[in-house]
Amino acid sequence: MATFRPSQNVCELNFDDKFFYALPLHEDTADAIDKASAKLNKIAPKDKAGIDAAYNSALDIIDDILGEGAAEDIMTIFDKPGTLEVWSVLYYILDEWKNAYSAELEKIKKTADLPNRAERRARR
Protein backbone atom coordinates (compact mmCIF):
# COMPACT_ATOMS: atom_id res chain seq x y z
CA MET A 1 0.00 0.00 0.00
CA ALA A 2 1.29 3.44 -0.90
CA THR A 3 1.84 5.92 1.90
CA PHE A 4 0.59 9.47 1.59
CA ARG A 5 3.30 11.97 2.43
CA PRO A 6 2.19 15.58 2.49
CA SER A 7 4.41 17.90 0.54
CA GLN A 8 5.93 20.79 2.41
CA ASN A 9 5.00 23.42 -0.18
CA VAL A 10 7.61 25.96 0.82
CA CYS A 11 9.79 28.45 -0.94
CA GLU A 12 13.35 27.87 0.20
CA LEU A 13 15.43 31.02 0.44
CA ASN A 14 19.22 30.90 0.69
CA PHE A 15 21.16 34.02 1.61
CA ASP A 16 24.83 33.51 0.76
CA ASP A 17 24.76 30.00 2.31
CA LYS A 18 24.56 31.66 5.75
CA PHE A 19 20.86 32.13 6.34
CA PHE A 20 18.11 29.82 5.17
CA TYR A 21 14.39 30.36 5.35
CA ALA A 22 11.48 28.16 4.31
CA LEU A 23 8.61 30.44 3.43
CA PRO A 24 5.28 28.56 3.29
CA LEU A 25 3.30 28.65 0.07
CA HIS A 26 -0.09 29.32 1.59
CA GLU A 27 -2.67 32.07 1.86
CA ASP A 28 -1.21 33.73 4.97
CA THR A 29 2.10 34.22 3.21
CA ALA A 30 0.29 35.39 0.08
CA ASP A 31 -1.45 38.04 2.20
CA ALA A 32 1.89 39.13 3.67
CA ILE A 33 3.39 39.32 0.16
CA ASP A 34 0.42 41.38 -1.07
CA LYS A 35 0.74 43.78 1.88
CA ALA A 36 4.48 44.08 1.23
CA SER A 37 3.85 44.89 -2.42
CA ALA A 38 1.27 47.52 -1.44
CA LYS A 39 3.77 49.12 0.97
CA LEU A 40 6.44 49.12 -1.74
CA ASN A 41 4.15 50.93 -4.15
CA LYS A 42 3.70 53.77 -1.63
CA ILE A 43 7.44 54.33 -1.14
CA ALA A 44 8.93 56.95 -3.45
CA PRO A 45 12.19 58.31 -2.04
CA LYS A 46 12.93 61.80 -3.33
CA ASP A 47 15.49 63.04 -0.82
CA LYS A 48 17.81 61.77 1.94
CA ALA A 49 14.95 61.45 4.43
CA GLY A 50 12.91 59.54 1.85
CA ILE A 51 15.80 57.19 1.15
CA ASP A 52 16.24 56.54 4.88
CA ALA A 53 12.51 55.89 5.21
CA ALA A 54 12.63 53.52 2.22
CA TYR A 55 15.54 51.64 3.80
CA ASN A 56 13.73 51.25 7.11
CA SER A 57 10.46 50.33 5.42
CA ALA A 58 12.19 47.61 3.40
CA LEU A 59 13.75 46.19 6.58
CA ASP A 60 10.32 46.19 8.24
CA ILE A 61 8.76 44.43 5.26
CA ILE A 62 11.45 41.73 5.31
CA ASP A 63 10.77 41.17 9.01
CA ASP A 64 7.02 41.07 8.36
CA ILE A 65 7.52 38.30 5.82
CA LEU A 66 10.34 36.23 7.33
CA GLY A 67 10.00 37.01 11.03
CA GLU A 68 11.36 39.54 13.48
CA GLY A 69 15.13 39.95 13.25
CA ALA A 70 15.47 38.29 9.84
CA ALA A 71 16.37 41.52 8.05
CA GLU A 72 19.12 42.34 10.53
CA ASP A 73 20.58 38.83 10.19
CA ILE A 74 20.48 38.87 6.40
CA MET A 75 22.07 42.32 6.16
CA THR A 76 25.20 40.92 7.82
CA ILE A 77 26.13 39.29 4.51
CA PHE A 78 26.92 42.77 3.14
CA ASP A 79 29.98 44.82 4.10
CA LYS A 80 28.03 48.08 4.12
CA PRO A 81 24.34 47.44 3.52
CA GLY A 82 22.53 50.36 1.99
CA THR A 83 19.16 50.97 0.45
CA LEU A 84 19.98 49.14 -2.78
CA GLU A 85 21.16 46.05 -0.93
CA VAL A 86 18.07 45.96 1.27
CA TRP A 87 15.81 46.39 -1.73
CA SER A 88 17.66 43.66 -3.65
CA VAL A 89 17.05 41.26 -0.76
CA LEU A 90 13.40 42.25 -0.58
CA TYR A 91 12.86 41.75 -4.31
CA TYR A 92 14.69 38.41 -4.14
CA ILE A 93 12.24 37.26 -1.45
CA LEU A 94 9.18 38.48 -3.35
CA ASP A 95 10.31 37.08 -6.70
CA GLU A 96 11.34 33.69 -5.35
CA TRP A 97 8.09 33.26 -3.43
CA LYS A 98 5.94 34.28 -6.39
CA ASN A 99 7.87 31.95 -8.72
CA ALA A 100 7.57 29.01 -6.31
CA TYR A 101 3.87 29.68 -5.78
CA SER A 102 3.24 29.89 -9.54
CA ALA A 103 5.15 26.64 -10.10
CA GLU A 104 3.00 24.84 -7.52
CA LEU A 105 -0.18 26.20 -9.09
CA GLU A 106 0.97 24.92 -12.49
CA LYS A 107 1.47 21.44 -11.01
CA ILE A 108 -2.05 21.55 -9.63
CA LYS A 109 -3.46 22.73 -12.95
CA LYS A 110 -1.80 19.82 -14.76
CA THR A 111 -3.38 17.40 -12.32
CA ALA A 112 -6.75 19.12 -12.63
CA ASP A 113 -6.65 18.64 -16.40
CA LEU A 114 -6.64 14.86 -16.02
CA PRO A 115 -9.96 13.25 -16.92
CA ASN A 116 -12.10 12.44 -13.95
CA ARG A 117 -13.33 8.97 -13.15
CA ALA A 118 -16.71 9.40 -14.88
CA GLU A 119 -15.01 10.55 -18.11
CA ARG A 120 -12.59 7.62 -18.05
CA ARG A 121 -15.41 5.12 -17.57
CA ALA A 122 -17.47 6.69 -20.34
CA ARG A 123 -14.59 6.13 -22.77
CA ARG A 124 -14.53 2.37 -22.10
**Three-point CA angle 123, 4, 66, nearest 5°:** 115
Please tell me the predicted confidence (pLDDT) of residue 77.
95
Mean pLDDT, residues 8-26? 90
Q: Is the pLDDT of residue 46 over 80?
A: no
Handedness of CA 53, 54, 57, 58 (dihedral sign): negative
Predicted confidence band of residue 32 (pLDDT cuts 50, 70, 90): confident
pLDDT averaged over every residue in the chain: 85
pLDDT tens per residue, range 80-104 = 998 889 999 999 999 999 999 999 8
For the chain, the structural domain boundaries read 10-110
Is the overall model pTM greater than 0.85, yes or no?
no
Please tell me the predicted confidence (pLDDT) of residue 116.
67
